[in-house]
A and B are shown apart, each in its own frame.
Chain A
């Protein structure tokens, strides 16, 4: 059973150092004279498996640890306790604007992320497919991404992420800001990716989307998995609870 598991979490606990005293400089530290860091557990004893080709939805309230869970999968956050096994490549996290350098232009960002994924920077086909999919014009892509609206950022990040043919696609709340046309385009693309047998982790506050797309789902609350099972049941539960 463990062989076909693409993502395997075993008793994972993730804790952040939380600096809730407002001590952000040596000056503050000297006047404050206490250790300003408290350890805050974000995820507590999380265990689950995602099989190849499975599409899992992650539901939960704001601050329940969804993004931290995705970061742990992406390897950006290391667990304090427990182990994470990933057998495959992961596309960048699709939070709005994450991974983009705001000072660089759209084109430079595309090149940067392509090269970080071990592809040639000047891969013309890849750049063109990203550009076509995002629907952003040449002029827009030549301006620094700090001038982009959140919808434009979402378009760019989504396009870059699906262009890397990784085994695991992580989608974190991006679709909320795009316009109708782009949302449909994205959903179509997600279904296409799913048909190709890739694994998708889908975070959304819309249980309807999760129900349509996902096979299984987990419900996070306060850093623990409270419920786990088929997508429809979990979505109904989510709507009932919150």
Chain B
């Protein structure tokens, strides 16, 4: 919360976006969801090594359960957010309901990344540590607390290659601008989400039978 306040205070004076609080927080809640899921589930397989060694339980359930509990938190956050943002000029319309498919897409994408990290973490125990250090860098490279223009004008590649950017943009169309996102953006996000899930599941299923040799 303090983090959020500092960001809002510091960047608000620097940027000339109208309705800055709504702009920043709409991006932040999605980022926080992403960060929480990855941080929570990265050690999920290692932490349940006792069960994995003794029982024949599908290993994918361990990251999945972390993810579902975070998703539940996120849904509660969204409700509170929707009410609180009344004072910061959110426009209530049926367009806001598209946040449901957006959340599902983002959750699928996040789960794909999570599968890669938690399975690699079994073999290389510093993946989790590396991820916590890299995460702030990704956060500041994604136009969450500052306007997109800062990056798109000078370094368009940084934004274009950042998959999280597309989801933030998609969700902002709905929450911040109050319009229905364009078909192109929907397509980009769907491809990213399914692609990431496929890559993640592929890596996970190649490694899962050997988890036990490193646990």
Contacts and interface: CB of A to CB of B under 8 A. Distances in A.
Contacts of B125: 24-25
Given A24-B125, A25-B126, A26-B124, A93 B54 contact: yes
B51 A24 contact: no
B55 A116 contact: yes
A71 B212 contact: yes
B53 A99 contact: yes
B124 A92 contact: no
Contacts of A24: 123-125
Contacts of B212: 16, 71, 76-77
A149 interface: no
Given A25-B124, A26-B124, A76-B212, A92 B130 contact: no
A74 B212 CA distance: 13
B209 interface: yes
B123 A19 contact: yes
B86 to A, nearest CB: 41
Interface in B23-56: 48, 50-56
Contacts, number: 62
A76 B210 contact: no
Interface in A65-109: 71, 74-78, 90, 92-93, 95, 97-102
A90 B54 CA distance: 11
Interface string B177-215: 000000000000000000000000000000001101110
B127 interface: yes
B57 interface: yes
Contact size range, A: 20 to 34
A18 interface: yes
A27 B210 contact: no
A65 to B, nearest CB: 13
A16 B213 contact: yes
A17 interface: yes
A193 B9 CA distance: 70
Nearest to B120: A26
A93 B56 CA distance: 10
A76 B52 contact: yes
A140 interface: no
A98 B53 contact: yes
B160 to A, nearest CB: 27
Interface string B106-146: 00000000000000000111110010000000000000000
Nearest to A74: B56
Given A17-B214, A76-B212, A77-B212, A101 B54 contact: no
B51 A116 contact: yes
Contacts of B48: 101
B50 A101 contact: yes
A38 B126 CA distance: 21
Interface of A: 16-19, 23-29, 71, 74-78, 90, 92-93, 95, 97-102, 116
28 contacts: A16-B210, A16-B212, A17-B210, A17-B214, A19-B213, A24-B123, A25-B124, A25-B125, A26-B127, A26-B130, A27-B126, A28-B124, A74-B55, A76-B56, A78-B209, A92-B54, A93-B54, A97-B50, A98-B54, A99-B50, A99-B51, A99-B53, A99-B55, A100-B50, A101-B50, A101-B51, A102-B50, A116-B55
Q: Would you list the 9 A-B pairs with minimal beta carbon distance, nearest first?
A: A99-B54, A75-B56, A16-B213, A25-B126, A98-B54, A78-B209, A17-B210, A92-B54, A26-B124
